[in-house]
A = this chain, B = another copy of it.
């Protein structure tokens, strides 16, 4: 398999699927659709919908019912970035080389665009009930989508992360908690929803959740590493933003070398756990390897 060619092909397919769920820009409230679509179309690796779709494929899923959930998870990821960038949060003016949503549309519209994306994620996911009204996995998938995005998932992680500025009482346990919730939660959500909708067994779901947790952790630590070692040209946003915000990160806490070693170990554990499954998806395994060794 030519991974790079396959990766480009599948990324394009996913882009086509998820953008088809964006709202038309029309009506008195047109500006909010513009702000939502601006945020959503500002780039990104589409990692979460890709992991969802590949996990769905791994367990033999073949229906289009996965598509609204693929769009939904990317909308949730996008809303979290829109709100994270707000002046009262990280106060970032650039992301992926483009101006952030609040910078283009103003602060009030930045708040509302995030709200709108979060809400539209659930509106979009709920369209699956029209596609397969009898599918008993849909309720479960919606529960996962909500739980992993909320106070016991991503929002919970953001909260402790916001509080970790100048945190002199940081512990390894607390740092792992932040990373597990802030980043792993949506990766877990993506892969678990793929597994559930494809009819994976309970045991298979548990393995997938473990893999996703490790991948998420490794991914976030790699992000911290790049914030220190990369350049604005490669990254598309200012480097050193964690230091600017006085954030305690994995890198400031554990040091650069230990962080790099932990990324390696976590990714090896994730792949070995994935390979313990009877079902196989070669592309997905390669994808996990690729994500963790990325340079941006």
| Residue positions of A touching B, CB distance < 8 A | 23, 27-29, 31-33, 36, 79, 83, 86-89, 107-112, 114-116, 118-120, 122-123, 126-127, 129-130, 133, 136, 138-140, 142-143, 145-147, 149-151, 155-160, 162-163, 174, 177-178, 181
Given A108-B89, A115-B114, residue A143 in contact with residue B159 (CB < 8 A)? no
Q: Is the CB of A120 within 8 A of B150?
A: yes
**A136 to B133, Cβ gap below 8 A?**
yes
Stoichiometry, as copies per complex, reads: 2
Residue from A120, A147, A155 having most chain B Cβ neighbours under 10 A: A155
Question: Which residues in B have their C-beta under 8 angstroms from that of A31?
Answer: 159, 163
Complex CA gap A110/B89 in Å reads 10
User: Which A-B residue pairs are the 5 nearest by beta carbons?
Assistant: A129-B139, A123-B146, A88-B107, A119-B150, A29-B156
Whether A112 touches B174, Cβ cut-off 8 Å, given contacts A133-B139, A139-B138, is no
Also in contact, A151 and B23, with CB within 8 A (given A31-B159, A122-B142, A139-B126): yes
A132 to chain B: closest residue by CB = B139
